[in-house]
Amino acid sequence: MISRPGSPSGDIMTDIIVKDSNGSQLHDGDSVTLIKDLKVKGTSETLKRGTLVKGIRLTDNPGEIECSTKQVKGLVLKTEFLKKA
């Protein structure tokens, strides 16, 4: 019998490891800093390099995190533009 990760009967637990641009592991609630100016789609806002983002939430995709900033709520950012603060 083959057990798939995430199946109710499976005993295999797979943790998604999320890393920033420098290779540091990220966890829920961490603070990160932007390493590049990012234009936010759907708004006229630009998040500047060095902006501190607090309280990130990890997603199922290891290349993305969810967060909110003072200017924009409900952002999804790629981890390649972040470094752990």
For 27-59, write each residue's pLDDT tens digit: 999 999 999 999 999 999 999 999 999 999 999
In a 10 Å sphere around its CB, with 0-12 CB exposed, 13-18 middle and 19+ buried, how is residue 1 labelled? exposed
75, 51 Cβ separation under 8 angstroms: no
The answer to whether residue 65 sits within a structural domain is yes
Enclosing domain of residue 79: 27-84
pTM attached to this predicted model: 0.78
The answer to whether residue 73 sits within a structural domain is yes
The answer to whether residue 44 sits within a structural domain is yes
The answer to whether residue 2 sits within a structural domain is no
Residue from 42, 41, 38 nearest 81 by CA:
38
* Number of independent structural domains in the chain: 1
64, amino acid identity: E
More confident residue, 5 or 37: 37
The answer to whether residue 42 sits within a structural domain is yes
CATH number at residue 74: 2.30.30.40
